[in-house]
Amino acid sequence: MKHIFIVNPVSGHGRSKKIIPWIHEYCQANGKEYEILMTEGKGHATQLAARYTAKDNVTVYACGGDGTGYEVINGMQAGVPMAVIPSGTGNDFTRMFEYPKGLSLKDTLIQTIEGKEASVDIGRANQSMFFHNCLTIGLDAAVTVKAEKLGKKLPIPSKLVYLISVFLTLKERQPIDLEMTMDGKTTHHQMLLLAIMNGRFYGGGFQPTPDASVQDGVFDVCLVDYTSLSRILLLLPKYMFGKHVMEREAHFYKCSSLQIKTKQLVPSEIDGEVKYLQEYACELQPNFIKVRVPQASGLN
């Protein structure tokens, strides 16, 4: 098998580039066939991943953050396994892979190469966009816009970037009129945010859906009603650690498909990629792709 490393050189303030000598060192010492491909701009990772089919007997590694993973998975051909080396800013999807705490980036790379394959679910939006971790609408998507700009300017931890961006965005918040249809039932909401989750984490470790699994065949959905600033400030620490499940403004659902519409144009984001759409039709694709995870992971 050949290992194809798609490296986003600007991901994680250039952190992804640090793994290149480790790839050479490990693969050459262990007789691994490999190739390193550098991305050259937005969308290039998708094009690079699309080169390979199941007949090529490769594993394609997305080396970067959740945005790099999003691009790679949208280029993957059927039957080609994927891996993610979490060297970006957020790295929220790989939190589900159960790497040991405190593991160095070099050892993360090695444990991934020496890992096992596990089948995971993937989301699909509007028939054409695949997402491995999340699709969100509202406040948190607006925060993503700010966090992306802030993260490029300040070399600080991703969770701190996200937290600062939350407070900068709160003063601009507006209620969002949402129509949501799940299992044939349509409801209307004035919401602050909506998180459609495959994984459990986003925003550098926030937990909107603490019970989510990438292997349960359903989305976990969290909808938060529009509320006062004082209530948001009380909810925010709980939302960060997944302790908001009993709060009156937070509503939780599980579904395999849903349709959502907003009356006004608001920011949304898919695995960190910002979109401005008013309608989404989302479907979960169970056991859609095989990913490499550490041998000790509970995923299979």
Q: Which of 113-122, 133-142, 232-241 has the highest mean pLDDT?
A: 113-122
Query: Is it the case that residue 124 has pLDDT exceeding 80?
Result: yes
Give the model confidence (pLDDT) of 196-238 as tens digits: 999 999 888 899 999 999 999 999 999 999 999 999 999 989 9
Residue 202 has what DSSP assignment? B
pLDDT for 19 equals: 95
pLDDT for 158 equals: 67
Closest among 111, 13, 20 to 65, alpha carbons compared: 13
Closest among 121, 75, 129, 93 to 281, alpha carbons compared: 129
Q: How far apart are CA 58 and CA 94, in angstroms?
A: 20
Give the model confidence (pLDDT) of 10-66 as tens digits: 888 788 999 999 999 999 999 999 999 999 999 999 999 999 999 999 999 999 989
Percent share of the chain, pLDDT over 70: 99
pLDDT for 198 equals: 97
- What is the model's pTM? 0.92
Q: How far apart are CA 7 and CA 286, in angstroms?
A: 27
CB 46 within 8 A of CB 74: yes
- The distance between the two most distant Cα atoms of the chain, rounded to a whole number of Å, is 59
3-state secondary structure 62-77: EEECHHHHHHHHCCCC
Using CA atoms, how far residue 91 sits from 2, 54, 71, 105, 211, in Å, is: 24, 26, 14, 12, 19
What helix, strand, coil percent values describe the chain, rounded to 5? 30, 35, 35
| Rounded mean pLDDT, 112-120 | 97
Query: Is it the case that residue 88 has pLDDT exceeding 90?
Result: no
pLDDT for 75 equals: 97
Q: Which region, left, alpha or beta, applies to residue 296 given φ > 0 means left and ψ of -120 to 50 means alpha? A: alpha
Alpha-carbon dihedral of residues 40, 61, 213, 101, nearest 10 degrees? -100
Q: How far apart are CA 73 and CA 56, in angstroms?
A: 17
Give the model confidence (pLDDT) of 140-167 as tens digits: 888 878 877 787 777 777 668 877 888 8
Which amino acid makes up residue 293? V
Query: Is it the case that residue 292 has pLDDT exceeding 90?
Result: yes
